[in-house]
Chain A
Amino acid sequence: EAQVTQNPRYLITVTGKKLTVTCSQNMNHEYMSWYRQDPGLGLRQIYYSMNVEVTDKGDVPEGYKVSRKEKRNFPLILESPSPNQTSLYFCATRTGGYEQYFGPGTRLTVT
Chain B
Amino acid sequence: AQSVTQLGSHVSVSEGALVLLRCNYSSSVPPYLFWYVQYPNQGLQLLLKYTSAATLVKGINGFEAEFKKSETSSHLTKPSAHMSDAAEYFCAVTPSPGGYNKLIFGAGTRLAVHP
Contacts and interface: CB of A to CB of B under 8 A. Distances in A.
B42 interface: yes
A100 interface: yes
Interface residues of A, number: 24
Interface residues of B, number: 24
* Interface SS of chain B: loop
Interface stretch (B13-21, B66-74, B95-103): B95-103
A44 interface: yes
Interface of A: 4, 31, 33, 40-45, 48, 50, 56, 58-59, 90, 97-105
A105 B102 contact: no
B83 interface: no
Interface in B72-115: 90, 92, 94, 100-103, 105-108
B9 interface: yes
